[in-house]
Amino acid sequence: MITRGEQWGVPTKRTLDDVVITGDYELATSSNNHRLIVRTGDIAHSLGDPVSPEVGASCIEVPIDALQVCISMRDGSSMSLLASSHVMIGRWLHGRLVCINNAGFVGSKNVSPRAHPNDGFFDVMTLQPSMGLQQRVRARHKSTLGTHTPHPLLETTRSRSVEYSSVSRSEVLRVDGRRIASWSAVQVEIVPDYWRLLV
């Protein structure tokens, strides 16, 4: 886990055993037994979209946290999975929006500009349902640069564990961009230092 004032990661060299993957979902479903090189996605973007090192080249090995996601379904079943980047409840333009974010970016939007993928916390941005449409459009636009906060109807917090219940059957839940249908509740916990990435 990153510590204030200390260098993050350790110098190393890429080997033939290191695995190249594409995107946040593939990272979330990858074993933590190997060092990984992430080519695209929110995690890669939060790391500055680094160029993949060649075999034998010098690089930095950095640990990153994972999100453990437990979802209760409306039929009484449940599922558990890992997320690398984010868990998002709702939509930008109506109702509530909750973004539980490990790395800051969700696509082109810098939703949580102070987030770090290895600080032992995730950032939570909550857009209140009472925010009007015009303000929502403006906030969504400003989030591209991460300037949508502070705002009196946008709350940002940091946590290691949160739980939310669905407020309607139509409320959308996405985990690393993948939609989960028929959900009733979701719990998210941080898993520190889960993966090792090369940058």
Q: Is the pLDDT of residue 194 over 90?
A: yes
In a domain, 45, yes or no: yes
| Residue 47 sits in the same domain as residue 98 | no
Q: Is the pLDDT of residue 25 over 90?
A: yes
Per-residue pLDDT of 125-141, as tens digits, reads: 999 898 999 988 998 88
Asked whether residue 42 falls in the same domain as residue 94, the answer is no
The span from the CA of 89 to the CA of 78, in Å, is 17
Nearest-CA neighbor of 158 among 102, 89, 196?
102
Residue 91 and residue 184 share a domain: yes
pLDDT value of residue 84 = 97
**pLDDT tens for residues 62-97?**
999 999 999 999 999 999 999 999 999 999 998 999
Helix (H, G, I), strand (E, B) or coil at 195: strand
Write the pLDDT tens digit of every residue in 154-167: 899 999 999 999 99
pLDDT band at 150 (very low <50, low <70, confident <90, very high): confident
Does residue 52 sit within a domain?
yes
Last residue of a domain, one of 21, 41, 65: 65
Do 174 and 157 lie in a common domain?
Answer: yes
Question: Quick one: 99 and 30 in the same domain?
Answer: no
Say if CB 183 and CB 78 are below 8 A apart. Answer: no
Q: Is the peptide bond before 150 cis (omega within 30 degrees of 0)?
A: yes
Q: What is the pLDDT of residue 153?
A: 86
pLDDT at residue 149 in the model: 80
Average pLDDT over residues 29-35: 95
Q: For 161-190, how does the pLDDT look when each residue is reduced to its tens digit (9 = 90+)?
A: 999 999 998 999 999 999 999 999 999 999
Q: What is the pLDDT of residues 110-120, one digit of tens each?
A: 888 889 999 99
Number of domains in the chain: 2
Residue 199 lies in a domain: no
Q: What share of the chain has pLDDT > 70, as a percent?
A: 99
The whole-angstrom separation of Cα 33 and Cα 88 is 28
User: Is the same domain home to 90 and 166?
Assistant: yes
Extended strands (E) in 39-182: 58-73, 78-83, 86-90, 97-101, 105-106, 109-110, 122-127, 154-159, 161-165, 173-175, 178-180
Supply the range of the domain harboring residue 29. 10-65
Question: Where a domain ends, among 65, 80, 104?
Answer: 65
Tell whether 53 and 129 lie within a shared domain.
no
In a domain, 197, yes or no: no
